[in-house]
Amino acid sequence: MENHLVSEPNVDRAEIIGMTSTQLKDWMAALGEAPYRARQLHQWLFKHRAPSFDAMTELPRTLKKILEERASIVSARIENIFISSDGTRRYLLGLADGCEIEAVFMPEETRDTICISSQVGCPLACDFCMTGVVGLKRNMTAAEIISQVIIVLNDVYGAGNPTPHRTNIVMMGMGEPLLNYDNVMQAIQILADEDGFAIALRYITLSTAGIVPGIDALAMEPRRPRLAISLTAATDEVRDRLFPINRKYNLDSLIAACRRFPLGPRERLTFEYVMLDGVNDSDRDAKLLVRLLSNVKAKVNLIPHNAAPELPYRSSPMQRIMEFQKVLTDAKLPSFIRRPRGLDISAACGQLAARHSATE
């Protein structure tokens, strides 16, 4: 699948954390290094999250010098960190060309979740999302996508230290992942490599606003992450307003693509439904949603809207969300309500980058 508006930053040194194990092996071979050295480097980069080449104790000094001259490890830096009272951490990260992105760390008792970005900004201009205010600047490289995970884990647990429990990755940050398909899929391959991060594909979720060709391309992948659909409306009339992309890929075409998407025996597609007060939260809306998803193996994630003063929307009250959920439950459509995170640190997607850009 072709990338959308690809414009990668120029770098003088190789972004080796954006390389798969095979690519890294080939790159090291071009330097005259044996395959076992490539494997050592791969483990230091992804399994141990080494902060520098000097920390890679197994590598000879001569090789470290070559690597320092010809390669870089992380492709981003921390500009600012905001820590919520609920433990959520929101990162404003700077890239080599001066662009800024966001990542979020959300701890739980038995797992951590890292929400990462796939584009600098977003071209879709969804009406209820702050990233749409930023607009699209460019696609992110695979190395920049991976950098978010390394930076967050090293900040929380220390460079090279093991994580105490499972890490989930959700591609629900800035950007539309399916419009940066090649770089996103390469990053997912790196994250799932058993000799590196070793994050199982079932713990990696890609969220799309409904790019039908991208959904079909993902369906053809032999190994793929979980898929989530950012739906938020059950009629084209409402969705056209909230998601301009719906005018190109309407609900009929989107639901048809979802029906085509291969699923395991116990697997369901997640449909994310942001609850907007007075817009999409009536009992009638809930019944329309049940009808829309009647022939899809679906579960619905009801998401209280993380409001921003710059946007003309507010979240549905929790009582209304629970009443909405009851309609789904009565119709035997599985659903759950996402617990709001980071409300006190502007943790809605795009809020940090949009506001930071506005002050420059």
Residues 232 and 129: their CA atoms lie apart, in Å, by 12
Residues 328 and 25: their CA atoms lie apart, in Å, by 51
Residues 23 and 147: their CA atoms lie apart, in Å, by 17
Contact 76, 95 (CB under 8 A): yes
Q: Which residues on adjacent β-strands are paired with residue 80? A: 92
Catalytic position from the list 99, 129, 258, 349: 349
360 classed as catalytic:
no
Dihedral sign computed on CA atoms, order 56, 156, 152, 79: negative
Contact 191, 153 (CB under 8 A): no
Catalytic position from the list 15, 102, 176, 272: 102
102 classed as catalytic:
yes
Residues 22 and 25: their CA atoms lie apart, in Å, by 5
- Sheet strands (E) in 209-307: 226-230, 269-275, 298-304
Residues 23 and 17: their CA atoms lie apart, in Å, by 10
Catalytic residue positions? 102, 349
